[in-house]
Amino acid sequence: MNTKVPGRITEKGVRSNVSTCLGYCSAWVGGNGCIPLDYLMEDAATAEICRAQLWQWIRNKTKLSDGRTMSLEIFQTTVEEELDKIKRQTGGETVPPRQFDLARELFSRMVSAKDFPEFLTLPAYEELLKLEKRSLSA
Protein backbone atom coordinates (compact mmCIF):
# COMPACT_ATOMS: atom_id res chain seq x y z
CA MET A 1 0.00 0.00 0.00
CA ASN A 2 1.34 3.43 -0.93
CA THR A 3 1.06 5.78 2.04
CA LYS A 4 2.79 8.72 0.33
CA VAL A 5 0.47 11.62 -0.32
CA PRO A 6 1.46 13.95 -3.14
CA GLY A 7 1.83 17.63 -2.42
CA ARG A 8 3.58 19.78 0.13
CA ILE A 9 2.72 21.01 3.59
CA THR A 10 2.84 24.78 3.62
CA GLU A 11 2.78 27.37 6.37
CA LYS A 12 -0.54 28.50 4.89
CA GLY A 13 -1.90 24.97 5.40
CA VAL A 14 -0.66 24.89 8.99
CA ARG A 15 -2.27 28.29 9.63
CA SER A 16 -5.51 27.19 8.04
CA ASN A 17 -5.69 24.09 10.23
CA VAL A 18 -4.89 26.09 13.37
CA SER A 19 -7.38 28.84 12.55
CA THR A 20 -10.14 26.36 11.74
CA CYS A 21 -9.64 24.45 15.00
CA LEU A 22 -9.44 27.58 17.13
CA GLY A 23 -12.52 29.06 15.49
CA TYR A 24 -14.49 25.86 15.85
CA CYS A 25 -13.35 25.16 19.42
CA SER A 26 -14.14 28.66 20.62
CA ALA A 27 -17.62 28.43 19.08
CA TRP A 28 -18.17 24.91 20.40
CA VAL A 29 -17.40 25.81 24.01
CA GLY A 30 -19.92 28.61 23.54
CA GLY A 31 -22.64 26.17 22.48
CA ASN A 32 -22.39 26.25 18.67
CA GLY A 33 -21.85 22.91 16.93
CA CYS A 34 -21.01 24.40 13.55
CA ILE A 35 -19.77 27.77 12.39
CA PRO A 36 -19.14 29.63 9.16
CA LEU A 37 -15.40 30.09 8.52
CA ASP A 38 -14.07 31.59 5.29
CA TYR A 39 -17.44 31.10 3.58
CA LEU A 40 -17.61 27.41 4.54
CA MET A 41 -19.73 25.76 7.22
CA GLU A 42 -17.32 23.92 9.52
CA ASP A 43 -18.11 21.35 12.18
CA ALA A 44 -16.43 18.81 14.45
CA ALA A 45 -15.36 16.61 11.52
CA THR A 46 -13.35 19.42 9.93
CA ALA A 47 -11.78 20.36 13.26
CA GLU A 48 -10.85 16.72 13.91
CA ILE A 49 -9.15 16.40 10.51
CA CYS A 50 -7.19 19.62 11.08
CA ARG A 51 -6.17 18.55 14.57
CA ALA A 52 -5.12 15.08 13.41
CA GLN A 53 -2.99 16.51 10.62
CA LEU A 54 -1.20 18.89 12.97
CA TRP A 55 -0.58 16.13 15.53
CA GLN A 56 0.78 13.82 12.83
CA TRP A 57 3.00 16.47 11.25
CA ILE A 58 4.57 17.28 14.63
CA ARG A 59 5.05 13.62 15.63
CA ASN A 60 6.57 12.70 12.27
CA LYS A 61 8.78 15.80 12.11
CA THR A 62 7.33 16.60 8.71
CA LYS A 63 9.20 19.09 6.54
CA LEU A 64 7.29 22.18 5.56
CA SER A 65 7.62 23.52 2.02
CA ASP A 66 9.97 26.25 3.32
CA GLY A 67 12.36 23.63 4.75
CA ARG A 68 11.45 24.01 8.43
CA THR A 69 10.54 20.92 10.42
CA MET A 70 7.06 21.05 11.91
CA SER A 71 7.39 21.29 15.68
CA LEU A 72 5.48 22.16 18.83
CA GLU A 73 7.23 25.53 18.81
CA ILE A 74 5.96 26.35 15.32
CA PHE A 75 2.52 25.11 16.33
CA GLN A 76 2.37 27.21 19.53
CA THR A 77 3.59 30.35 17.75
CA THR A 78 1.00 29.83 15.03
CA VAL A 79 -1.74 29.30 17.62
CA GLU A 80 -0.97 32.63 19.28
CA GLU A 81 -0.75 34.50 15.96
CA GLU A 82 -3.96 33.01 14.59
CA LEU A 83 -5.83 33.56 17.86
CA ASP A 84 -4.79 37.23 17.82
CA LYS A 85 -6.02 37.46 14.23
CA ILE A 86 -9.38 35.87 15.12
CA LYS A 87 -9.80 38.23 18.08
CA ARG A 88 -9.07 41.25 15.86
CA GLN A 89 -11.51 40.05 13.20
CA THR A 90 -14.33 39.49 15.69
CA GLY A 91 -13.48 42.52 17.77
CA GLY A 92 -14.02 40.32 20.82
CA GLU A 93 -17.71 41.10 20.52
CA THR A 94 -19.09 37.76 19.36
CA VAL A 95 -17.00 35.41 21.50
CA PRO A 96 -16.19 36.04 25.18
CA PRO A 97 -12.43 35.99 25.97
CA ARG A 98 -12.86 32.96 28.25
CA GLN A 99 -14.07 30.92 25.27
CA PHE A 100 -10.93 31.81 23.32
CA ASP A 101 -8.73 30.90 26.30
CA LEU A 102 -10.47 27.57 26.79
CA ALA A 103 -10.33 26.81 23.06
CA ARG A 104 -6.58 27.54 22.96
CA GLU A 105 -5.95 25.45 26.06
CA LEU A 106 -7.92 22.42 24.83
CA PHE A 107 -6.60 22.54 21.29
CA SER A 108 -2.98 23.02 22.37
CA ARG A 109 -3.19 20.24 24.93
CA MET A 110 -4.60 17.80 22.38
CA VAL A 111 -2.09 18.58 19.63
CA SER A 112 0.78 18.48 22.18
CA ALA A 113 -0.30 15.14 23.65
CA LYS A 114 2.15 12.25 23.42
CA ASP A 115 -0.62 9.83 22.45
CA PHE A 116 -3.32 10.86 19.99
CA PRO A 117 -6.52 11.81 21.86
CA GLU A 118 -9.54 10.13 20.30
CA PHE A 119 -11.96 13.03 20.04
CA LEU A 120 -11.66 16.76 20.47
CA THR A 121 -15.07 17.07 22.08
CA LEU A 122 -14.46 14.57 24.92
CA PRO A 123 -12.06 16.73 26.96
CA ALA A 124 -14.08 19.77 25.92
CA TYR A 125 -17.17 18.28 27.57
CA GLU A 126 -15.15 17.75 30.75
CA GLU A 127 -14.09 21.41 30.75
CA LEU A 128 -17.65 22.58 30.18
CA LEU A 129 -18.84 20.50 33.12
CA LYS A 130 -16.15 22.08 35.33
CA LEU A 131 -17.24 25.57 34.22
CA GLU A 132 -20.87 24.72 34.91
CA LYS A 133 -20.06 23.42 38.40
CA ARG A 134 -18.07 26.61 39.16
CA SER A 135 -20.89 28.85 37.99
CA LEU A 136 -23.48 26.91 40.02
CA SER A 137 -21.41 27.14 43.19
CA ALA A 138 -20.70 30.86 42.74
Domains of the chain in start order, with CATH, are 11-137 (1.20.1220.12)
Single pTM value for the model: 0.83
Cα(54)–Cα(103) distance, rounded to whole angstroms?
16
Residue 118 pLDDT more than 90? no
The pLDDT tens digits for 20-68 are 998 888 887 777 777 777 777 777 888 899 999 999 999 999 999 999 9
> Where is mean pLDDT largest: 38-47, 58-67, 81-90, 101-110?
58-67
Instruction: Give residue 69's identity as a one-letter amino acid code.
Output: T
DSSP assignment of 105-128 equals: HHHHHHHH-SSPPS-THHHHHHHH
